[in-house]
Structure 1
């Protein structure tokens, strides 16, 4: 008796297994569910990387524009460098005006430093950022003037939303941000006193 029951059950399993490859009910829904999540992650990560490259270019252009103003006229935010040192607020406002359409109002994640050096050999090249992607020095060191050598470093902590690989592998991804960095070194023109 038990052998007959076992044989019948095996026969039913065999019939079900033969029907299984022919059953098409819900296949499209299952395939859609399996493929949509990785597809959307790839699409949104690609869009986010493209937007972050555009933001990085905006920050580089803002850095170059502000440095050009300092280099050629020595004037920023209505302040002539030879009359008074550049203030942190004036420099922040000038940088924010240059990149206002890409970043939050008031540039809350912006950090920068402006340094004056005796020669190009003293300009730092490898100790600008720390392990967390933040500037090692902030603010303004020294007063730039006519014919001085200066370096402007700008970092904006860009929020990362969908780029999971970056958040998992980057040491700079603290707080879900990616540092967008621009630096420029120049010698001021000998503008008139």
Structure 2
């Protein structure tokens, strides 16, 4: 009789231990503490990589827009003939440098690195000639940037003028995001802006 009671007591204690273990297991299964942290750890790397890629692309397009607008504003002096009095150096390179500085001065917040900017000002007899000549002189070719042929030609009245500006732009990221944007070497992209117009019939 005593042995039966002892065995029964052992069974009860075992059942109680099993019950406590089962409750602990059920509590563990129901617990959601830390799940968000674990899930975020899985998606954090691709999320931030995508976020930085968006910032990189947006900043590059913004710089491109700023360059185009600055070039358009600086080119007004070429349209109206004011360039006849502003860019008067005998050396075309000196005139190109001064015109480049005027383009940079139009850019807000110093967004354009003037030391990395090259400009080309040329005149043509017709728009057809301008299209033919410029189509074969792309400064970006084969993953390299070549602006050695860039010069400055003083526009005269009624000339067809083509103005180009090329910025050697340094990308901020050095990951797969910048690799997709780079076109002149690792972490660098040539941003090109251009405008074409006929000069006004100004009096020289």
TM bin, normalised by shorter chain, reads 0.7 to 0.9
| Residues 55-95 of structure 1: per-residue CA shift (max 9 Å, x gap) | 111101111112222111332783369x9967122111111
| Runs of 4+ that moved beyond 6 A | 83-86
Cα distance, 1:73–1:143 mapped onto 2, change above 3 Å: closer
Normalising to structure 1: TM-score of the pair? Answer: 0.72
The residue aligned with 2:14 is none
SS at match of 1:146: coil
The 5 A counterparts of 1:145-164 are 145-162=156-173, 164=175
- Could you give the per-residue CA deviations for residues 28-69 of structure 1, whole angstroms, max 9, x where no partner exists? 433222211111111121122222222111101111112222
- Could you list the runs of 5+ residues in structure 2 that have no partner in the other structure? 1-24
Partner Cα separation in structure 1 for residue 53 and residue 103 of structure 2: 28
Distance 2:62 2:84 in 1: 25
Q: Distance in 2 between matches of 1:138 and 1:55?
A: 24
2:120 equivalent to 1:113: yes
How many Å separate the matches in 1 of 2:111 and 2:51? 22
Cα gap change, 1:165/1:127 in structure 2, threshold over 3 Å: closer, same or farther?
A: farther
Structure with greater proportional helix content = 2
In 2, are the aligned partners of 1:115 and 1:140 still within 8 Å (CA)? yes
Q: Which residue in 2 is equivalent to 1:13?
A: none
Q: Following the alignment from structure 1 to structure 2, what is the Cα–Cα distance between the partners of residues 141 and 79?
A: 10
Match of 2:39 among 15, 24, 31: 31
Deviation at 1:167, TM superposition (A): 3.6
- What do you get for the CA RMSD once the two structures are aligned? 3.2
- In structure 2, distance between residues paired with 1:127 and 1:64: 21
Mark the structure with the bigger radius of gyration: 2
Using the alignment, how far apart are the partners of 1:46 and 1:171 within structure 2?
A: 15
Superposed counterparts of 1:33-182, under 5 Å: 33-75=41-83, 78-79=86-87, 87-103=95-111, 107-123=114-130, 124-131=134-141, 132=143, 134-135=145-146, 138-162=149-173, 164-165=175-176, 167-169=178-180, 172-182=183-193
Long gaps (5+) in structure 1: 1-18
State how many pairs are aligned. Answer: 174
Asked whether the equivalents of residues 113 and 137 of structure 1 are also in contact (C-alpha less than 8 Å), the reply is: no
| Distance across 1 between alignment mates of 2:186 and 2:41 | 31
CA deviations 1:100-129 (Å, max 9, x no partner) are 52435x512212211112221221135323
